């Protein structure tokens, strides 16, 4: 069995230690709330390393939202060069922010766990079915 790469584990929202267990209990754009497992169903890693750990994900989500806002703002400018109304930009950025919110919530936590957590290391012994 081949090992799961870090990029693949992040894209599929898998556990940073075993890269097999799911981080979330349901789909990203489902009608139910975004619910995260407390521990990995595969290797038993506790995802919330310390109390309030996922408050740091707000900073990652903010960075993602700023990147989206800048990208949508530039794209709106390129598409509508003649329209100088700021409302066009505000509405476009708000719509993009609302549509990207489930992605932003989920992947801000994934990025926090995979890239910004020095306490959590990948262990190939857990990378099996």
Residues in Cβ contact with 51 at an 8 Å cutoff, skipping those fewer than 6 apart: none
Instruction: Render pLDDT for 18-50 as a digit per residue (tens, 0 to 9).
Output: 888 899 988 777 667 778 899 999 888 898 888
Q: What is the DSSP letter of 54?
A: G
Q: What share of the chain is helix, strand, coil (3-state, %, to 5)?
A: 50, 5, 45
Q: What is the DSSP letter of 109?
A: H
Confidence at residue 52, expressed as pLDDT on a 0 to 100 scale: 87
Residues in Cβ contact with 9 at an 8 Å cutoff, skipping those fewer than 6 apart: 15, 16, 19, 114
Mean of all residue pLDDT scores within the chain = 87
Confidence at residue 27, expressed as pLDDT on a 0 to 100 scale: 78
Cα–Cα nearest to 45, from 5, 24, 16: 16
Strand partners, 36: 24
Confidence at residue 120, expressed as pLDDT on a 0 to 100 scale: 84
Residues in Cβ contact with 63 at an 8 Å cutoff, skipping those fewer than 6 apart: none
Q: How far apart are CA 79 and CA 57, in angstroms?
A: 32
Examine the pLDDT at 1 and tell me if it is beyond 60: no
Q: Report residue 60's pLDDT band, with 50, 70 and 90 as the boundaries.
A: very high
pTM here? 0.82
Instruction: Tell me the two tokens of residue 58.
Output: 């707000």
Mean pLDDT calculated for residue range 62-69: 96
């Amino acid at each position: 069995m081949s090992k799961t790469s870090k990029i693949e584990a992040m894209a599929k929202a898998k556990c940073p230690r075993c890269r097999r267990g799911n981080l979330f209990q349901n789909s990203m754009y489902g009608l139910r709330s975004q619910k995260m497992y407390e521990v990995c169903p595969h290797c038993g890693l506790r995802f919330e390393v310390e109390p309030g750990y996922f408050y740091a994900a707000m900073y990652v989500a903010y960075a993602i939202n700023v990147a989206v806002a800048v990208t949508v703002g530039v794209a709106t400018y390129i598409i509508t060069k003649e329209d100088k109304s700021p409302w066009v930009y505000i509405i476009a950025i708000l719509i993009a922010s609302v549509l990207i919110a489930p992605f932003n919530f989920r992947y801000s936590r994934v990025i926090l766990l995979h890239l910004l957590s020095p306490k959590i290391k990948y262990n190939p012994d857990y990378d099996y079915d």
